[in-house]
Amino acid sequence: MIVACEDCGKQYRVNTDRIRGQSAQFRCKACGQIISVTRPRRQAEAHENAARPTLRINSPEQTGAHEEEFKVGEAEPPRVPSPQLKGIGLRGKLMLFLLAPLVMSMLVGAFFSLKQMVGLSSLITRESTKIVSEMAERQIAEHARAVALQVGLYLRSHSRLKREQFQKDAEFMKIAVQKVGSTGYTALHAVPDGDGVWRNWAHVNPKIPGIDMSTLKKPMGKAFYGFWKVFSAGRDGRESSGYYTWQDADGQFRDKFMVCAPVKGTPFYVASTTYLDEFTRPVEQVKERSRRMAGRARNMNAGVMLATITLIGLIVFFYGRKVTGNIRQLSEVADRISVGELDAQVNVGGKDEIGELADAISRMQDSLHLSIERLRHRH
C-alpha cells in the first residue's frame, strides 16, 4: 500500500499486514508531518490478536519511494518532541518589557526629584548666605559711622588732645576702639600728612599706634595687598569698604570685612573690621545640615526603590513562571494529541485565558474521539 504525505507529497510503501489494530501512524522524514495508515477492515480482523509487529516500508529501489522502519502499535504512538524556543521566552519578555521600563522610570524620577531637592536646598542656603552677608556688611558700616561720629564729638570737645596721646586716654580709647561682633574691633588711623605715611593712632594692639602701616607688608605677606587696598582707599572724605584675607594667630587665613568711615572735620578715619563668617556661620550650619538631610533622603530613596524593584521583580518572576509552566504543559499535551495520544490528561485549570485554552484542548480531545469512533463505524 502506497501512502503520500499530505504536506510535502513524499511517498512511502507500507506493508499493511504488519499493522496491529486498525491504524498506525508515523512521521514523514522530510517535513515531520504525522501520516496515518488505516488497515483494510479484512486484514484488521485477521490480525487483531497478533503480537506487536514492525512496520516496514520497502526500499526506494522497489517502489520509487523512500525507505523507513517504524514500531507500530495502538498503545504508544510516537511522540513529537516539544519545540525549542528560538527567542526570548514569555518570562524573559515579562522581565524585559515590564520590569525594565518600570525600573528606568523609577530611576529617572528618583534622580530628578533628588536633583531638584538638592538644587532647592543649595539655592535657599546660597540666597540666605547672601542676605546675611549683606546685612552684616551694613551693620559693620553703620557701626563704623557711629564710632566715627562719637570720635568727632569727643575730639571737638577735647581740642587740646594730641594724636600721640590718644592711646593713653582711657576715655577716648573706649570710644575709638570698640568691639565688633565677637572677634572684630574698631581702630583709628589718619590719612597721610606731609610725609605721606599712613599711621594708626588707636588700636586694640598697643604696639600698632604710631607706626608706619606700610611696614606691615612683611609680617602679613600676601594678605597685606588686600588689606592695604581697602585701608588706603578711604581719603578725601570718601568711605571705603571691602574684603581681605587675614592670618590668625593659629596660622589660618580667613576673610575679613572692613569699612573705613571718615571722622568729619578731621584727617582721621575709623576702621571697623571683623570676620564675616561670625554672621554667616549659622547659615553654614544650616547648609551642612541640609547636605546631611539630602544624603539621608538619597539613601532612603535608593533603599525604597531597591526594595520596590526587588518586590516587583519577584512578583513578575513567580507569576511568569506559573504562566509559562501552564503554557508549556498545554503545549506538551497538544503535541501528544497531535501524534494520536488522545487520552493525554490536561491538568491545567483556572478562570483566566489559560484555563479557557485548557478547556478548548479538552473539547478538542472529545471531538477527535468522536471523529475516530465515526470512522471506525464506517469501516
Topology classification of domain 123-283: Beta-Lactamase (3.30.450)
What is d(CA 29, CA 319) in angstroms, rounded to the nearest whole number?
39
What is the domain partition of the chain in residue ranges?
Answer: 1-78, 123-283, 342-379
Do 361 and 367 contact (CB within 8 A), yes or no? no
pLDDT in tens, 23-51: 777 778 777 778 877 766 554 455 444 44
Which of 135-149, 207-221, 249-263, 311-325 is least confident? 311-325
Identify the pLDDT of residue 88. 61
Do 335 and 80 contact (CB within 8 A), yes or no? yes
For residue 252, the tally of other CB atoms under 10 A from its CB is 8
Name the pTM for this structure. 0.51
- Considering the chain, what percentage of its residues have pLDDT values greater than 70? 81
Between the CA of residue 124 and those of 66, 114, 127, 138, 287, what are the distances in Å? Answer: 88, 15, 5, 21, 9
- Considering the chain, what percentage of its residues have pLDDT values greater than 90? 26
Q: Please name the residue ranges forming H helices in 15-84.
A: 41-46, 60-63
What is d(CA 195, CA 158) in angstroms, rounded to the nearest whole number?
26
pLDDT in tens, 146-158: 999 999 999 999 9
Do 3 and 37 contact (CB within 8 A), yes or no? yes
More confident residue, 68 or 372: 372
What is d(CA 13, CA 190) in angstroms, rounded to the nearest whole number?
129
More confident residue, 106 or 332: 332
pLDDT in tens, 212-245: 999 988 888 888 889 999 999 988 889 999 998 8
Read off the pLDDT of each residue in 115-140 and give the average, rounded to a whole number.
82
pLDDT in tens, 319-375: 878 888 888 888 888 888 877 777 778 887 777 778 888 888 888 888 888 888 888
3-state secondary structure 153-185: HHHHHCCCCCHHHHHHCHHHHHHHCCEECCCEE
Select, from the ranges 11-15, 39-43, 295-299, the one with the highest average predicted confidence (pLDDT). 295-299
Identify the pLDDT of residue 175. 95
Do 356 and 330 contact (CB within 8 A), yes or no? no
pLDDT in tens, 79-105: 444 455 445 666 666 667 777 777 788
Identify the pLDDT of residue 9. 67
- The continuous run of DSSP H or E covering 328 comes out as helix 277-338
- Three-state DSSP at 17 gives helix
The CA angle 17-21-23, to the nearest 5 degrees, is: 85
Joined grid coordinates for residue 156: 571737638
Q: Which of 62, 264, 50 is nearest to 153 (CA)?
A: 264
Q: Say yes or no to pLDDT of 115 above 80.
A: no
Identify the pLDDT of residue 141. 94
Mean pLDDT of the chain: 78
